[in-house]
């Protein structure tokens, strides 16, 4: 008797399960699947539209960046070599000292003074030793120049 009740319950249960309402997908389901597919493909590095992957592009981009950096570095070096270094001061033209004109001498002195100012500006890539050497050389040249100016002044005053 009890078995029959349970058999009936069993049948009722199976019927109830079979008659459960169908759960439907939302209206925009397909659209969302396609959207997810596109977004996941971008994340995965697959570009359906253009047929190449970001993973392949990354080394190319890296190489391009390295090349650009290298070109900038080389250009910088080129600029440095084109402009005379501040440590290599121009040799003093002694012939200008021999000029008889006082104005000329003044101009030479002015030019030299301005170049002296430039020389005194410390360059970042100069070491201390070269700075000292340069300064000593300049002092000598200054002394020579002042001597020459004195001589010239004397000769002018004698005249």
Partner 1 sequence: MLEKKLNELTDEELINEFQQNNVSKAFEIIIQRYKNPLMNYVYRFLGDYEACVDIVQETFIKVYRYKNSYSSIAKFSTWIYTIAGNLARTEYQRKKRRNFFSIESTWDENEPYEIPDESFRPDVTTDSDLKEEIIQKALLKISASYREAVILRDIQGMSYEEISEIMKINVGTVKSRINRGRAQLQKLLKNIYKE
Tokens encoding 117: 């100012």
**Alpha helices, DSSP H only, in 50-101?**
54-82
Residue 21 binds partner 1, judged by CB under 8 A:
yes
CA gap 130, 153 in Å, rounded: 34
Which of 2, 6, 91, 95 lies at the binding interface for partner 1 (CB under 8 A)?
6
Residue 36 binds partner 1, judged by CB under 8 A:
yes
Minimum CB–partner distance for residue 124 and partner 1 (Å): 57
What count of other Cβ atoms lies within 10 Å of the Cβ of residue 134? 17
- Coil, helix or strand at residue 1: coil
Tokens encoding 153: 């002044």
CA gap 97, 104 in Å, rounded: 8
Residue 25 binds partner 1, judged by CB under 8 A:
yes
Based on CB atoms, which residue is closest to partner 1, 1 or 23? 23
Based on CB atoms, which residue is closest to partner 1, 37 or 153? 37
Element (H, E) at 38: helix 29-44
Tokens encoding 73: 């570095």
Residue 29 binds partner 1, judged by CB under 8 A:
yes
Binding mask 38-67 for partner 1 (x = CB under 8 A): --x---------------------------
Residues near partner 1, by CB under 8 A = 6, 8-10, 12-14, 16-18, 20-26, 29-30, 32-33, 36-37, 40
């Amino acid at each position: 008797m009890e078995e029959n009740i349970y058999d009936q319950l069993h049948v009722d249960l199976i019927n109830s399960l079979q008659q459960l309402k169908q759960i439907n997908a939302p209206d925009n389901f397909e659209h969302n699947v396609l959207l997810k597919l596109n977004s996941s493909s971008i994340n995965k590095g697959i570009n359906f539209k253009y047929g190449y992957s970001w993973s392949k592009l990354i080394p190319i981009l890296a190489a391009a960046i390295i090349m650009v950096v290298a070109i900038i570095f080389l250009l910088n070096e080129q600029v440095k070599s084109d402009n005379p270094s501040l440590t290599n001061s121009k040799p003093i033209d002694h012939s200008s000292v021999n000029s008889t004109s006082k104005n000329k001498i003044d101009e030479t002195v002015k030019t030299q003074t301005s170049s002296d100012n430039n020389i005194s500006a410390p360059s970042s890539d100069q070491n201390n030793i070269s700075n000292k050497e340069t300064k000593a050389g300049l002092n000598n040249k200054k002394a020579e120049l002042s001597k020459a100016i004195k001589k010239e002044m004397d000769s002018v005053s004698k005249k």
